[in-house]
Structure formats: C-alpha cells, structure tokens
Amino acid sequence: MHAIRITEHGGPEVMAWTELPDPVPAPGEALVRLGAAGVNFMDVGARKVGGPGWAAPTVLGAEGMGYVTALGEGVEGLAVGDRVAWYYHPGSYAELLAVPADRLVKVPDEVPDETAAAVMMQGLTANHFTTETYAVGPGDTAVVHAAAGGVGLMLTQMIKARGGRVIGLVSRPEKAAVAEEAGADHVLVSSGAGFEDRVRELTDGEGAHVVYDGGGTSTFRSSQLALRLHGVHAYYGPFMGVPSLSVTDLPSSILLSYPTVQDHVPTREALVARSEEVFAMVRAGQVSPRIGGRYALSDAARAHSDLESRRTTGKLLLIP
C-alpha cells in the first residue's frame, strides 16, 4: 500500500508518496480500506512542527472513513464490509489502516461516504463547541472566525439549528457568500484584529455571548473585547499561536476556554452518542458539509498548500 509519509518536519515538500507494507490488524483492531481522508489544520501543524504523537518519521492524517476488510482477534460489533468513520487515528493518509475498533463508528446508510469523512473531526468539534463549551440557545449571538472554512461552516449551521444568531468573520470578500449560504446573519471581512467595534454595533452595544476563535494570536484580544459581560471566549487555534496573558487581562468577567474534542468524547460510549448526534443533524438537513476540494491522496501536499494559503473554503478531502 501507499501512504503520505514525512521523515522530517517542514513545508509541503516534505510529504512523500511512500510504499509501505500492508498493515495487519492486531487484536482489537480492524483493517480499513480508506474511502476518503479529511484534511485539517491540525495535519498542517503535525507536518510543520510535530507535537505529541507526531514525531518524524510518521504518516500524516487523523480523520476519515472507509470499509472494513478484516478484523483482528476479539473485535465485536463490526463486520467485514461495514462502512466506518473515525475522528482521530494518526496515520490516516494511507490506503490501508489498522485502526483500534473502539475508535470506529458505523456510518448510517443515509450518510454518503464523502459526507461521513467530512463531518467527523469538524462535526464533533462544532458539536462540542455548541453544547458543552457554550450551550447555544435561541437568541444567542455567536461570532464565528473563519466562517467559510470547514469548522466555521459546521459551527454556523449548528448554531442556527439551535436558534442562535451568527456573526461570521472571513478573510476575503469573496468568501462572504459562502458563509451567508451556510446561514450567517452578518459577515465581516477581517483577517486580524479590529472587528470588536462592529460586533458591538451589531449587538446594540452588548457584545456577543460567545466567540469561537481559531484565528491565533492576532485575533485573541479582539475576540475578548467583542464579548458581553460573562461571555465565553472559545479559543481553538493553538497551531496558529498561543498567546500569553495574565488572568487580570480578561475583560468583562469573561470565561476563557480551550476546548478540545477529546474532552467531548472521552469514552467509547460518548464517541458513539456524539457521532450519532452529528449524523442525525446530517440526516435532518441541519448540517450539510461543503466539500471545498477533492484531491488524490498522492497529491496531499497540494491540499496542504491550498489550505495554508487560505484560498479554500469548506472541507478538503483526499481520495485514494
């Protein structure tokens, strides 16, 4: 089989289409033939700087869907031929994967392959943000950074499904229509700081209930200043930089959160339940991922380049 492997960290040029031995499922694992892998900014960070679990050499990728082709000893609840999806398994940019069975969820018949690949990481993330991080309710105002990106579009749709109001931020004017199509009530063009005054204008001077901020250090302070008293700043952009601050710098008695999806699905039972919530929203038409680009798995380096350039909208997929 082939996979996208790196032997050192760096730019997209370190990504190599490499022939590797076919994996053999160990006890408790399933062998999965890849149907589609999702591309995430986390993958870019793993390629550039590594991090826990991403020391080079390594195969990149963490998310995808595929088809069970063999089962290791002791696996129950899965069968050869099942369509399955996962939100986190290092090494997902590969034609074949041996995945711990407890990380796999079955894909409902009504959910197409590409949709399943596109909603796992970002769908579970958006579900986390709109429930446990800040439980969006009718009339709540949320600011969504990168509102035309994969997470941003998913967030916007889930916020609207829960009765909230969305102020979307996009980096380029041509992305505004994409955010509006997903349901954003207002779209501001901003690639950095300085949007807080406009947010306050749109909220009659009060500020937003929650800001979902994946913009990095450049947007960190403005996100906080855009919040109302006791608002929630959900910061999820560690690969874009981690700001330093004193707790006394926090304005308006706001709450600062660094939500990670692993805390949303800490058990097998939670993973199944939360995935079913996301798939139910897909089946109900409340969530429909926008596929912003399809690339051959062997062309993953171009997908990374396009994602980093911010030329893309929606979710990028790699197809073997």
Look at the block and give the residue holding tokens 């793993």: 46
pLDDT score recorded for residue 312: 82
Strand partners, 144: 168, 212
Range of the structural domain that residue 257 is part of: 120-262
137: left (phi over 0), alpha (psi -120 to 50) or beta: beta
54 in a structural domain: yes
Q: Running DSSP on this structure, what letter comes out for residue 62?
A: -
pLDDT score recorded for residue 54: 93
Q: Name the residue among 240, 276, 27, 278 with its Cα closest to residue 154.
A: 278
Cβ pair 129, 295 in contact under 8 A: no
Provide the token pair at 207. 């500020």
271 in a structural domain: no
Which CATH number do you get for residue 312?
A: 3.90.180.10
pLDDT score recorded for residue 239: 61
pLDDT score recorded for residue 297: 98
Report the C-alpha gap between 143 and 152 in whole angstroms: 10
pLDDT score recorded for residue 238: 65
**Amino acid identity, position 296:** A
Q: Do 138 and 256 have their domain in common? A: yes
Q: Do 179 and 245 have their domain in common? A: yes
172 in a structural domain: yes
Burial of 98-125, coded b for 16+ CB within 10 Å and e otherwise, reads bbbbebbbbbeeebebbbbbbbbbbbbb
Provide the token pair at 185. 């009530």
pLDDT score recorded for residue 186: 98
Q: Do 93 and 227 have their domain in common? A: no
Cβ pair 9, 50 in contact under 8 A: yes
CA–chain centroid gap for 126, Å, is: 8
pLDDT score recorded for residue 216: 80
Q: What is the mean pLDDT of each run of 10 residues along the chain (320 residues)?
A: 98 98 98 97 92 93 98 97 97 98 97 96 96 98 94 96 98 94 96 92 98 90 97 84 82 96 96 97 95 96 92 90
143 in a structural domain: yes
Which CATH number do you get for residue 231?
A: 3.40.50.720
308 in a structural domain: yes
Please tell me the total count of domains within the chain.
2
